[in-house]
Amino acid sequence: MAVIQDVHGHGHDHPTGIMRWLTTTNHKDIGTLYLCFSLFMLFVGGFLAMGIRAELFMPGIQILEPEVFNSFTTLHGLIMVFGAVMPAWVGFANWQVPLMIGAPDMAFARLNNWSFWLLPVAALLLITSFFVPGGAAAGGWTFYPPLSTQGGMGTDMMLFAIHILGMSSIMGSINIITTILNMRAPGMTLMKMPMFVWTWLITAYLLVLVMPVLAGAVTMVLTDRNFGTSFFNAAGGGDPVMFQHIFWFFGHPEVYIMILPAFGVVSEIIPTFSRKPLFGYSSMVYATASIALLSCFVWAHHMFTAGMPVAGQLFFMYATMLIAVPTGVKVFNWTATMWRGSMTFEVPMLFSIGFIFLFVIGGFSGVVCAIVPVDIQVQDTYYVIAHFHYVLVSGALFALFAGAYYWLPKWTGHMYDESLGKWHFWLSMIFFNVAFFVQHFLGLAGMPRRIPDYALQFADFNMISSIGAFGFGLTQLLFVYIVIKCVRGGEKAVDKTWEGATTLEWTHLPSPAPYHSFETPPVVK
């Protein structure tokens, strides 16, 4: 494939300071921008979580009025999903996809820049919506109408922000698909690609498929709110349940969008630290594709109490349970990769093993939720909150940490502080479980979600959960310290930092990787 021409003839020179970051078209710079943005947003979303857990520390209303509490829960969800996890994965894609396929950059370098810079605009809309009359949106991150038709300007700001975030994701995904399909080094067939690249290829297709659907739902709520339409207003002939169908047709693939790249990262790290090839590479590819395909057919499991007919409940129950099969295949393949390997347990491996352990627990509670009769009891309770925090925090977030520790030496040329990293891991593990395991019990015992105050029988576990949450939040400050410390200096990283690594960025590039890499593609055997 042709190397991208250096038209402006400044191969040894690039802008510095603010202009560098504003105008960069370099995938490494843009990856860094996404990662820094997402880390910042993690703390904004985390601040909101601390507010929620502080109010829920004891029964009674203490620090947040109910409507403010509702906006905290709403923005916590939106910011974590759209501001932290998704941009973080795009940041990883930007940094790693070109390096791992032997390409000099992304296919559409300028589009890449625009995809990123849309994000701070959206983030500003979301954050400042707290300060407009009426406050921020308070209908949940799922903003069901007719509730979301009520509410002031903060809701419209949220809806615009979602449009902007969606545009960014769609553009980014087109970029990723085009890059992967067209710019692989000679000899790198699809079935020779690293798993991280595969998972991003599949994720990008899912994004392109479902983001426009979300945009449709958002637009209809905007017009119902501002232009007198009745898409979701029964009195005007519309249908509130239709929103749920449209939203969740996006919403379910969305959660797989957040987890598939995590599977990819773990599929890189486990073989490296086991010094053994990934077990069942083709099965892993097919399993990922199956999960993505199936995820398009299960959306109504978020609607089991909405009143759908028996046939609907049964279909969606069976389809949802089916996703456990390819997911299980992945877990077994990771275990078989570790089996009879020669393992070491540096921080990336710790987070990856922690991921598998806790994600599986989240998967179990997911299968429990899939059972319709049981879901009738646990829908809209803390059981569901426990489930999705297990798969998203100790799932996606732990995998993000794993990938960050894994690739920081390649990005910066320095080793991160291994001992501090281990503290970060163990403290996160312990506090996460203290915060969220007890929420399973709260849900089973009957505590609904999205309430600022609760009956007395829920008090003990809420207090425990809040303590865990505060500890977990504080622990993440340690991660920021570790990252900054690593960027600024530290033990010089060897080019192939990890003994068992086999992918192109480790075998063919120095650490740190040069600003422009693979200007001549490597030949892959």
Produce one character per residue of 51-78: b if its CB has 16 or more CB atoms within 10 Å, e if not. Answer: bbbbbbbeeeeeebeeebbbbbbbbbbb
246: tokens are 């449209």
Q: Which of 40, 120, 239, 485 binds another protein (CB under 8 A)?
A: 239
Q: Which of 140, 216, 490, 522 binds another protein (CB under 8 A)?
A: 140
Produce one character per residue of 94-113: b if its CB has 16 or more CB atoms within 10 Å, e if not. Answer: bbbbbbbbbbbbbbbbebbb
Q: Which of 4, 25, 67, 178 binds another protein (CB under 8 A)?
A: 67
Q: Is 446 in the site for another protein (CB under 8 A)?
A: yes
Cα distance between residue 453 and residue 442, in whole Å: 13
CB of 429 to another protein, least distance (A): 7
- Name the amino acid, one letter, at 445: A
Mention every residue, 6+ apart, whose C-beta is less than 8 A from residue 311: none
CB of 288 to another protein, least distance (A): 14
Q: Which of 186, 318, 520, 523 binds another protein (CB under 8 A)?
A: 318
Q: Is 241 in the site for another protein (CB under 8 A)?
A: yes
Question: Which 319-358 positions form the footprint of another protein (CB under 8 A)?
Answer: 321-322, 324-325, 328-329, 331-333, 335-345, 353, 356-357
Residue range at the interface with another protein (CB under 8 A); choices 164-172, 188-196, 304-312, 385-393: 304-312
Q: Which of 14, 192, 275, 485 binds another protein (CB under 8 A)?
A: 275
Q: Which of 433, 392, 480 is nearest to 81 (CA)?
A: 392
CB of 1 to another protein, least distance (A): 29
Q: Which of 36, 54, 132, 147 binds another protein (CB under 8 A)?
A: 147
Q: Is 451 in the site for another protein (CB under 8 A)?
A: yes
Cis amide linkage into residue 373, ω under 30° from 0:
no
Mention every residue, 6+ apart, whose C-beta is less than 8 A from residue 310: none
Q: Is 47 in the site for another protein (CB under 8 A)?
A: no
Site string for another protein, 375-404 (x = CB under 8 A): -xx-xxx-----------------------
Active site residues: 76, 105, 141, 168-169, 252, 254, 256, 267, 301-302, 327, 330, 449
For another protein, the closer CB: 413 or 443: 443
For the chain, how long is the longest CA-to-CA vector? Answer: 70
Q: Is 285 in the site for another protein (CB under 8 A)?
A: no
Q: Is 281 in the site for another protein (CB under 8 A)?
A: yes
Site string for another protein, 151-170 (x = CB under 8 A): xx------------------
CA 427 to each of CA 331, 467, 475, 507: distance values in angstroms, whole numbers, following the listed order = 24, 13, 6, 33
CB of 230 to another protein, least distance (A): 10
- Name the amino acid, one letter, at 414: H
For another protein, the closer CB: 104 or 154: 154
> Please, is 269 exposed, middle or buried when counting C-beta atoms within 10 Å of its C-beta (0-12, 13-18, 19+)?
buried
Q: Which of 419, 457, 507, 520 binds another protein (CB under 8 A)?
A: 457
Q: Is 419 in the site for another protein (CB under 8 A)?
A: no
Q: Is 507 in the site for another protein (CB under 8 A)?
A: no
CB of 189 to another protein, least distance (A): 17
Q: At what angle do helices 153-182 and 66-78 cross, to 10 degrees?
A: 10
For another protein, the closer CB: 228 or 373: 373
Mention every residue, 6+ apart, whose C-beta is less than 8 A from residue 69: 51, 52, 55, 452
With beta carbons less than 8 A apart as the criterion, state whether 272 and 496 touch: no
Q: Is 314 in the site for another protein (CB under 8 A)?
A: yes
For another protein, the closer CB: 199 or 274: 274
Cα distance between residue 349 and residue 58, in whole Å: 37
Residue-by-residue DSSP string for 14-46: ---HHHHHHH---HHHHHHHHHHHHHHHHHHHH
Q: Which of 227, 224, 177 is nearest to 205 (CA)?
A: 177
CB of 285 to another protein, least distance (A): 12
